[in-house]
Amino acid sequence: MPAYRDLIYDVKGHVAVITLNRPDALNAWHRGMNEELRQAATEIDNDPNVRVVIITGAGEKSFSSGIDLKKIASGELFITGPGIRDYYDGIRKLREVFSMYEKLAVPVIAAINGYCLGGGLELALACDVRLAVESSVFSLPEVQLGIIPDLGGCQRLPRAVGIGKAKELIYTGKRIDAAEALRIGLIQHVYPREKLMEEAFKMANQIAGYNPVVVQAAKRACNVAMSYPLEIGLNFETTSSAFTMNDTKHGPRPFPIK
């Protein structure tokens, strides 16, 4: 297992837990944390025991406040040169890490325990399901800093909340609370702080208890729905269903009725 400094990586049963571990900096991320997120995604991808991932933040204030502006001010830049190509490549390498979590074979749950700003929100948007504490705050404030949300925010936020609401949030950089985030579909559930991880594990363990071949096929089919026309998605879904039924050998199990 790789050594981690700015993340805590733990596997409990079939659930991998990634904790962004810079609470004194509100779990703001920088080059080192970004590379550790890459390492963790690779480790999960290579571990067939892991069936679900939970990402959360250390401490009680923040999931992640986004990129660490103090690190940038001190000279830690993600861009290696002055040209447009240098900027493009630097940004691409950053957002590719977030895309790794979206593309993981297994479902990823964001357990948002406070501030979820900028790149922190863009990371959460790359997760499959988002849970949050009541005191969470959400924003993409990049336009206020003279840039655009460039780690997937302009693409994934419209898919989560609709184009009009996404444009409003991006253009204004306004902050919204957990109740508003739930109302617009940015998150799926809101919990008291003491219940967040309990509920995240409850969901994760429920998912992990199902046939992983079927769950992972469902994730792939849902991801296709966000990127391709309906007919292509329907054909992909049908093909995936045929392959997963064949894999289970006995066909679908009876629905549990309570």
Residue 180 annotated to the active site = no
| Neighbouring C-beta atoms of residue 143, cutoff 10 Å | 13
Which of 142, 180, 198, 237 is catalytic? The answer is 142
Residue 60 annotated to the active site = no
Contact between 76 and 131 (Cβ < 8 Å): no
Which of 96, 102, 122, 168 is catalytic? The answer is 122
Between the alpha carbon of residue 203 and those of residues 47, 242, 246, the distances in Å are 20, 26, 27
- In the three-class reduction of DSSP (H, G, I as helix; E, B as strand; rest coil), residue 58 is classed as coil
Give the pair of three-digit tokens for residue 106.
């297994």
Neighbour-count burial of 199, counting CB atoms closer than 10 A to its CB (0-12 exposed, 13-18 middle, 19+ buried): middle
Give the pair of three-digit tokens for residue 198.
């309990």
Q: Which residues are catalytic?
A: 122, 142
